[in-house]
Amino acid sequence: VTERKGVVVEAIRRIQPTDTAWRVRAKERLDTLTKPSGSLGRLEEIAARLCAIQETLSPTSSKRRVVVCAADHGVAAERVSAYPADVTAQMVANFVNGGAAINVLAKTADADVWVIDVGVAGPVEVRGTQIPFVSRPVREGTANMTQGPAMSEQEMLCAIMIGLEQADLAADDGVALLALGEMGIANTTAASAITSALTGVEPARVTGRGTGIDDQTLARKTHVIEQALALHSLRADAPFEILQTVGGLEIAALAGLCLGAARQRQAIVTDGFISTAAAMLAVCMCPSVADYLFAAHLSPEPGHAVQLDWLHQRPFLHLDMRLGEGTGAALALNIMGAACAAFTDMATFESAGVNGRR
Amino acid sequence: VTERKGVVVEAIRRIQPTDTAWRVRAKERLDTLTKPSGSLGRLEEIAARLCAIQETLSPTSSKRRVVVCAADHGVAAERVSAYPADVTAQMVANFVNGGAAINVLAKTADADVWVIDVGVAGPVEVRGTQIPFVSRPVREGTANMTQGPAMSEQEMLCAIMIGLEQADLAADDGVALLALGEMGIANTTAASAITSALTGVEPARVTGRGTGIDDQTLARKTHVIEQALALHSLRADAPFEILQTVGGLEIAALAGLCLGAARQRQAIVTDGFISTAAAMLAVCMCPSVADYLFAAHLSPEPGHAVQLDWLHQRPFLHLDMRLGEGTGAALALNIMGAACAAFTDMATFESAGVNGRR
């Protein structure tokens, strides 16, 4: 445990905040382009932040990768989901075989998809080999958080390290934009517990219908989260304890991915409720991670808006998406690509011979 | 005039509402795909609407085109803009030479850009020939709407017909998604007047800073719009009169483009405040046009939210963009493409061997 903890602590120590001087320089360039100052709105902010992250005035938005981390959840035994737990392994196979929404949407965003099994219970039946599949189950799903900690400290650190490793691999491949994806039946329950623990907002306000549960199941799910939080009595400033007791293995891997991506100066694009919970944990572990985060979209899951407020993030897209997998994040990659292209490819007032303001 | 009016009336007569049966069939197919029902949110709605527009369960999102209509405005003489009127012609040249934001953003959306001069005052200096440029100025900018009608009925009909013609050309080229773009110094003044006239909302609430005017200019701009509306005493159900008296030539062309695109069963993507004013006029001329409309984004221009409410449209993107040119619409093309790809390319529960709900 001590050795693994050392690796994570060292990764965190190496994360640098971005330098605002790059944003100022980027803004100066943006004001020379043929458009009224600020009129590209948040595209300008995205471009300036990419400049600061990459420390350049020639930012790039390629290449792009969606990392989908998957694991099962012991709390599924409390019947908190509309789907049986088998679906996790089946959907992971679907990702690897290229048939899921994330495969299709990532393709439209010119992004590749990596699928990481961090703790799926049961075997994954893989047919295709086009999609990189990393099989590194730390354990066969977490334990039931209402009975005890979801995982041991050792297991949590292993999962975080898998995420750190993925960020390093992405850096080796020259990835500039890294989108977070996840799969795990019952993982909105873990995400709600994490969100409540980090923000202090009561479980009922951050617990939603996930894949589409009925009123009775929603009431049970809320109660399960209250039970788990009562059992573990967590402090808001203890991200590792929160992650270990009420988190998930894929959430730990995604938190590690955020830390690793920030260390590698990659832009991190959050997706929905689960991946944003992971990003919050990473920010709580290291506040400078926030400099690398971009919120893709707003999910109808009620806790998502609470999370984005806590992160001081405004989502780009309002599409009522609640699938996860990284689907919303994939759509945002094109927006970030457009921001980057506008910054690098537009004519200036001078080069185009266009008059400025009166 | 009578002959031209006949052409426009005939175009309107040929517009069909979409058949909701296609949306039902599309929804049935969506529910077989490997995702919880409805979890792709508005992507599912987009796909279903494209099915209804194209009358198929194999919808396509290509090809894609941004049509940028440009013209000058006599009301610019009232000093309602931060930029001199020369900038219209200069920016049109920038579009045709490929250096503007719309060129860059359309490229990231795999869309071509057509530039239509419907009434730019003064010559357009074109260098490149890569961008199709249609020079059809009806007159050298409109007249000042505070002194009299912005254009004659004949001129308005000519401009509408240019838009109709562009929709036909796009149909010949197999365009499925048509994005509206515009350029014209002072055209937010015309759009505010149109919006106020159609909705009954007072000018002060639908008049904003456009390209970035100061408080004093904003007060003058609001007063100019009040003056023009007082002069013409318009009825909310008289779109042609509103367009002729307080509109613009590029707005007339865009209204015609909406009519023509609906007639040709193309999806129409609105951009910001000016193009949405044109879409409102088209809907007022023929309510079935609404079946073909998609709202790309929400501009900070205060009247834009009023327009989208009036159209019962919810924007996809929240990016504070206020440039026009079709830039926001271009970004939405990728979202619509993603919706279409998810619909056509995802695996089904059966083909992927994934269990459904308990």
Give the tens place of pLDDT for each residue, B104-156: 999 999 999 999 999 999 899 888 778 999 999 999 999 999 999 999 999 99
The predicted structure's pLDDT at residue A127: 82
CA neighbor of B85 nearest in space, from B99, B74, B101: B74
The predicted structure's pLDDT at residue A126: 86
User: Which residues on A lie below 8 Å from B358 (Cβ)?
Assistant: 82-84
pLDDT tens-place string over residues A94-123: 999 999 999 999 999 999 999 999 999 989
Closest CB from A87, A345, A352 relative to B354? A87
Which of B30, B32, B33, B43 is most worth mutating to test chain A (most A CB atoms within 10 A of its CB)?
B43
**B338/A317 Cβ within 8 A:** no
The predicted structure's pLDDT at residue B1: 83
The pTM is what?
Answer: 0.97
Q: What does the alpha-carbon distance between residue B318 and residue B332 come to, in Å, rounded to a whole number?
A: 11
Portion of chain B with pLDDT greater than 90, in percent? 96
The predicted structure's pLDDT at residue A124: 92
> Is residue A338 within 8 angstroms of chain B, CB to CB?
yes
**B40/A321 Cβ within 8 A:** yes
**ipTM of predicted complex:** 0.97
Average pLDDT of the segment spanning B60-86: 97
A202 is an active site residue: no
Distance (Å) from the alpha carbon of A2 to chain B's nearest alpha carbon: 40
Q: Is the peptide bond before B107 cis (omega within 30 degrees of 0)?
A: no
The predicted structure's pLDDT at residue B257: 98
Average pLDDT of the segment spanning B96-107: 97
> Is residue A327 within 8 angstroms of chain B, CB to CB?
yes
Closest CB from B91, B338, B346 relative to A354? B91
**A35/B341 Cβ within 8 A:** no
Q: How many CA atoms lie within 13 A of A10 on its CB side?
A: 8
**B342/A104 Cβ within 8 A:** yes
> Is residue B32 within 8 angstroms of chain A, CB to CB?
no
Q: In angstroms, how far apart are the furthest CA atoms of chain B? A: 70
CA neighbor of B250 nearest in space, from B64, B348, B120: B120
Average pLDDT of the segment spanning B73-90: 96
pLDDT tens-place string over residues A287-324: 999 999 999 999 999 999 999 999 999 999 999 999 99
pLDDT tens-place string over residues B17-34: 999 999 999 999 999 999
Interface size A-B, in CB pairs within 8 Å, comes to 201
- Residue ranges in chain A modelled with pLDDT below 50: none
Q: What does the alpha-carbon distance between residue A120 and residue A183 come to, in Å, rounded to a whole number?
A: 9
User: Which residues on A lie below 8 Å from B86 (Cβ)?
Assistant: 355
The predicted structure's pLDDT at residue B13: 98
The predicted structure's pLDDT at residue B336: 98
Instruction: Please state the φ and ψ torsions of residue A293, each to the nearest 5 degrees.
Output: -90, 140
pLDDT averaged over every residue in chain A: 97
pLDDT tens-place string over residues B295-337: 999 999 999 999 999 999 999 999 999 999 999 999 999 999 9
Distance (Å) from the alpha carbon of B154 to chain A's nearest alpha carbon: 32
A67's tokens: 């990392």
Residue of A nearest to B324 (CA): A39
**B84/A355 Cβ within 8 A:** yes
Closest CB from A99, A322, A330 relative to B347? A99
> Is residue B209 within 8 angstroms of chain A, CB to CB?
no
pLDDT tens-place string over residues A125-159: 888 778 999 999 999 999 999 999 999 999 999 99
Asked whether the beta carbons of A79 and A354 are under 8 A apart, the reply is: no
Asked whether the beta carbons of B46 and B335 are under 8 A apart, the reply is: yes
Catalytic residue among A78, A165, A250, A325, which?
Answer: A325
Closest CB from A97, A351, A355 relative to B99? A351
What CA–CA distances, in Å, run from B332 to B160, B170, B209, B329? 25, 18, 24, 5
pLDDT tens-place string over residues B231-255: 999 999 999 999 999 999 999 999 9
